[in-house]
Structure 1
Amino acid sequence: MAEERLVLTKNEVTGSRQASEDEEKKEQSSLTSASFNFINTIIGSGILGMPYALRQAGVGLGLMLFVLVAWMTDASILMLVRAGNLAGTSTYQDTVMRALGPPGYYVLVFLQFTYPFVALLSYNIIIGDNFTKVLLRMTGVPADNLVVRREFIIIASTLLITLPLSLYKNIGKLAKVSLLSFLIILTVIVALIYRTATMWEQVPVAEDAWVFGKGGVVQAAGVLAFMFMCHHNAFLIYCSLDEATEERWARVSHFSIIVCAAVAAVFGVSGFVLFNSYSLGNLLENYCWHDDLMNVMRLLYTITILFTYPMECFVTREVIENTFFITDMNRNEPHPWSRHVLLTVIICFSVGIISLLVECLGAALAINGTLFATPLAFVLPPICYIRLSPEKLASRTNVVPLVVLVIGTAMGVCGIVEAFMHLSDYSSECNHGQEMFYCSANQTWPGHSGPRYPDQF
C-alpha cells in the first residue's frame, strides 16, 4: 500500500494535468527543449567553482576528475531512469521506494530536499555578491546606501524575479529562457578568455600553481559533484519529454553532459590560467571591482542564475508535495493552486532569509557536493538499478553500476571526513567584500579606467 500511494502519473511529475491529449501534447518538450532544460539545471552556481576545483586538486588530477565525474553523471542518470522503468515508476522517490523500501525512501527525501535547497542558497549568494558590485559601479552611490546593500538586493530579487518565475507549474515553459541562459554562459566564457589575455601580466603566478596533483582532491570532487548534480531533476525532464523512451532520453543525457563538461572545462581552465592558486570559490570575485567588462559579465551571469533558480525550486516543492500530500496523488488530482503558491513562498523566503547570513560560496559548493550531491548522484542510482535489475550481481550489465557505486561511496566517505576536519578552512578562503591584492588604483588594461572600488565609493 505504501508503494502504491507514492506512485505519480507523468502529468503530476511535470506539475500540471492537462484536460485533453492535445493540450498535453503542447506541454511536452522536444529533444532540443529538454536538452536545454537539462543543461540549464546543471550549469548553475557550480560552474563558478571550476577554477577553484583545479586549484584544489592540481591541474592534472583536476582535469582527470572533470572527465571522471562527467562520465559517472551520464552513466548514473541513464541507470536511474532505467531503474524507474523497471520498477514501473516515474519519480526518483518511487524508484527508491521500490528498490530500498521506506528507509531508503526517507534518506532520499532528506537528500533530495536539502541539495536543491542549499543550491538555491548558493544562487542567492551569487546574486547578492555580483549585483552589489554592478550597482555600485553603475550608480556611484555610497556603499552603505540601502539600494546597493547585499541584503536589499537578495530580498528584492526574490520578490520581483525568482518568486514569480518559481510559481510556474510546468518546467517546459522555461525552455526559451533555458536557451537564453546557455547563450549567456557562452558569452561569459568568451569574456573570460579575452580578460585572461589582457590581464595576463597583472596577476602573479604562485609557486605551486602548475602542480599536477594536490591534496585537495576530495574538495575538488565535491565541487564537481555539485556542478554536475542533476539527478533530482531527471524524472521531471524525462517525463516532460515528448514520446519519452530510454533511447530518446539517452540522446538528451549524452548531449547535455558533453556540452556541460566542455563548458565547465573551458570555464575552469580560463579562470585557472589567469588566477592559478589565487582562484576563489566564486571566480567572479577574482576580478577587480572597477573592471567594466567583468561587471557586465557579473550582470549577465546573475540573469542566468535568476533563470536557473526556478528549476531547483520546482524540485524542492515537489519533494514536499510527494512526501506530505499523498491523498491528492491517490485521487489523481492536480496540486491545489493555493498550496502551490504557499509552498513556493515559504521555500523562496526561507532561502532568502538564510542567504542573508551566509556569504561564502566556496563552502556552499564543496559541502553541498560532498554531503548531498554525491549520494544522490553516485550511490543511490546504481544501488536502485542493481536491486531492480533481473540480472545477477556479477553479470556484465552490472559492471558500470558497480564501478560508479564504489567510486561514489569512496568520494562520499572521504568527503564527509574532509569536510568536518577542515570546516574552518572554507570560511578563511571566502573573499566576499574584499578586493584582490593585484587590483590597485594604478593598474589598468584595455577597456578599463578609473580608481579601484574602495577609493571611488
Structure 2
Amino acid sequence: MMHPNLQSINAYHGHYVATQEDEVTPLLQGDRETRHRSSGTSFGFSVLNLMNAIMGSGILGLAFAMANTGVIGFSVLLLIVASLASYSVYLLLTMCIQTAVTSYEDIGLFAFGSPGKILVASTIMIQNIGAMSSYLFIIKTELPAAIAGFLSGDHTGSWYLDGKLLLVVAAACIVFPLALLPRIGFLGYTSSLSFFFMVFFALAVVIKKWYIPCPLTLNSTVEIFQVANSSDECKPKLFNFSKESAFAIPTMAFSFLCHTSVLPIYCELKSPSKRRMQNVANLGIGLSFLIYFISALFGYLTFYDKVESELLEGYSRYLPHDGLIVTVRLFILLAVLLTVPLIHFPARKAFMMMFFSSYPFSCVRHIVVTLALNAIIVLLSIYVPDISNVFGVIGSTTSTCLLFVFPSLFFLKLSREDFMSRQKIGASALLAFGICVGVSSLTLISLNWIKK
C-alpha cells in the first residue's frame, strides 16, 4: 500500500511512484528523450562532478585528525566513514527510485511532510553556512601569508597583512557582489577548478615532505631531500587518542559530504540507473578517499605532532617564500573566492523556502538576505579561533545528519520492506551510528571548550 505522504504529494506533482525493484524511475524515463538529444553527462564527468562536490576545505584538516588518532586509527576511521557515505548514497538512490523525486528536501517531504522538508532545508542551510565559514577562515589565515610570500623584509604589523581586515575586504568586494548574481552558471564552471587545485595541493604535500627537516626548525634554508633525524618526535604514532581526537570523525564527515548533489548528478547521468549511479558514487568516494589519505599522511609525516589544524599554516611558518607553496596557496585562495558565492545560492534558497516561500520575488529581500548571510559567515570566520572548531561542530551536527541520520531515517520511514530485512537492519545500524557519533563528538568538543 502506498504511503499516505507519497500518495498525496504524488497526486500534486503528477508523478508515478515506482516500486523499489525498478532500476529507472518513470520520472527519469520520461526525461530520457531529452537526455538522448543532449547526450547527458558521461560516467567519467559524473564522477568528476561528484568528487568536486566532495572535496573542499576538509582536506586541510585531515592531517590534524591523523595526528590526533594515529596512522592506523585514522586509516580505519576514514575507511569506515567513506564506506558508510557510500552506503547512505545507496539508501538515497533507493528512495529516489521509490518516490521519483530528485532532491534531498523532497525526500524529507515524502517521509515526514512539510516538517521533514523544512528540517532538511534548515540542515542544509546551516551546513552551507559552516562550509562558507571554513572557506573564509582560509582567506583570513592564508591571504596574509600569500601577500607576505611576495614581500621581502619584515612587514609585521602592516595593515595589508591583517587577516581579519583582508577577510572583510574580500567578502565585501568579491564574495558579496558575486553572491548577488541572479545566475550562477559561470561560477559552477570555475568552481570545478577547485577539485584540480585540491589534487595539486595533495601533490605539493607529498613533494614538500622531503623539504622540511625533522625535528622542525624555523630555518627555511634546508638542504633538499635532507634525511630526518631519528628522534622520538619524528616517529609516526600508529594509535593516538587525546581530547583533540573528538574532532576526527566530524572532520571526516564534513569532508565526505556530497549527498545534496547525488540526486541532481543522477538526473543528468547518461543512461541513468541505480547501479550505474552507485558505481559513480563508489568511484568518486574511493578516489576522494585516496587523495584525502595521501594528503593527510604526508602532511602528518611532515609536521608530526606539530601539524596545524589548517595544514597550510605549517608551510607558511617553515617555508614562507617557497615557490610551490606560494602557488598552491594562490590556487586554494582562488578556489575559495569562487566557491563561497556558489554556496551562497543553496543557503539563501533554503532560507527563502522556509520563511518566504509564499511571497513573490523581491529584489530588496534578495539583497538583505544575501547581506545577512555574508555578515554571519564573516563574523564566524573572524571570531572562531581555529578551523577545527568549524569542522568539529558542523561535522558532528549537520554533516552527520545529512550523511548518516537522514538517509537511514527516511529509508526506515519510506521503505515497504519487512523491518527485519537486511536493508532495514543496515539502515537502523547507520542511524544508530550517526546519532552516537554526533552526540558523543559534540559532547566531547563542548567539554574540550569548557576545559580551555
Q: Using the alignment, how far apart are the partners of 1:136 and 1:360 within structure 2?
A: 21
Question: Which among 357, 379, 384 is matched to residue 326 of structure 1?
Answer: 357
| 1:110 and 2:122 correspond | yes
Q: Which runs of 5+ in 2 are unaligned?
A: 16-32, 217-230
| 1:182 and 2:185 correspond | no
Identify which range, 166-175 or 196-205, moves more after superposition.
166-175
- 2:446 corresponds in structure 1 to 420
Shift of 1:339: 5.3
| 1:151 and 2:179 correspond | no
- 2:383 corresponds in structure 1 to 357
Q: Using the alignment, how far apart are the partners of 2:270 and 2:180 within structure 1?
A: 23
What TM-score do you get using the length of structure 2 for normalisation? Answer: 0.80
- RMSD (Å), alpha carbons: 3.4
| 1:271 and 2:302 correspond | no
> Which aligned pairs between 1:107-256 and structure 2 lie closer than 5 A?
107-140=119-152, 142-167=155-180, 173-174=186-187, 176-203=189-216, 205-206=232-233, 209-215=236-242, 217-241=245-269, 244-256=272-284
Shift of 1:280: 1.9
Question: Which among 331, 336, 340 is matched to residue 309 of structure 1?
Answer: 340
| 1:86 and 2:98 correspond | yes
Q: Using the alignment, how far apart are the partners of 1:4 and 1:310 within structure 2?
A: 33
3-state secondary structure, aligned to 1:266: helix
Task: Check the 8 A contact 2:214/2:234 in 1, yes or no.
Answer: no
Q: Using the alignment, how far apart are the partners of 2:369 and 2:40 within structure 1?
A: 25
Question: Which among 370, 378, 381 is matched to residue 407 of structure 2?
Answer: 381
Task: Check the 8 A contact 1:41/1:312 in 2, yes or no.
Answer: no
Task: Check the 8 A contact 2:187/2:339 in 1, yes or no.
Answer: no
| 1:406 and 2:432 correspond | yes
Task: Check the 8 A contact 1:117/1:351 in 2, yes or no.
Answer: yes
Give the direction of change, closer, same or farther, for the CA distance of 1:67–1:181 in structure 2 (3 Å limit): same
Shift of 1:194: 1.5
Q: Which runs of 5+ in 1 are unaligned?
A: 11-20, 429-457
| 1:70 and 2:82 correspond | yes
- 1:451 corresponds in structure 2 to none
Shift of 1:63: 0.4
- 1:65-97 superposed Cα distances (whole Å, 9 cap, x missing partner): 111101111111231232133233332222123
Give the direction of change, closer, same or farther, for the CA distance of 1:55–1:252 in structure 2 (3 Å limit): same
Identify which range, 381-390 or 398-407, moves more after superposition.
398-407
Q: Using the alignment, how far apart are the partners of 1:311 and 1:53 within structure 2?
A: 27
Q: Using the alignment, how far apart are the partners of 2:184 and 2:353 within structure 1?
A: 17
- 1:55 corresponds in structure 2 to 67
Q: Using the alignment, how far apart are the partners of 1:83 and 1:170 within structure 2?
A: 30
3-state secondary structure, aligned to 1:198: coil
Give the direction of change, closer, same or farther, for the CA distance of 1:324–1:306 in structure 2 (3 Å limit): same
Q: Using the alignment, how far apart are the partners of 1:49 and 1:384 within structure 2?
A: 30
Give the direction of change, closer, same or farther, for the CA distance of 1:327–1:90 in structure 2 (3 Å limit): farther
Give the direction of change, closer, same or farther, for the CA distance of 1:139–1:288 in structure 2 (3 Å limit): closer
Q: Using the alignment, how far apart are the partners of 1:82 and 1:194 within structure 2?
A: 42
Q: Using the alignment, how far apart are the partners of 2:364 and 2:211 within structure 1?
A: 53
Question: Which among 84, 97, 110 is matched to residue 109 of structure 2?
Answer: 97
Letter paired with 2:333: T
3-state secondary structure, aligned to 1:138: coil
3-state secondary structure, aligned to 1:280: coil
Q: Using the alignment, how far apart are the partners of 1:38 and 1:336 within structure 2?
A: 33
Q: Using the alignment, how far apart are the partners of 2:343 and 2:374 within structure 1?
A: 11
Identify which range, 361-370 or 234-243, moves more after superposition.
234-243
Letter paired with 1:258: G
Shift of 1:281: 1.2
- 1:164-216 superposed Cα distances (whole Å, 9 cap, x missing partner): 44456666655543442222222222211111112133427538841324245
What TM-score do you get using the length of structure 1 for normalisation? Answer: 0.79
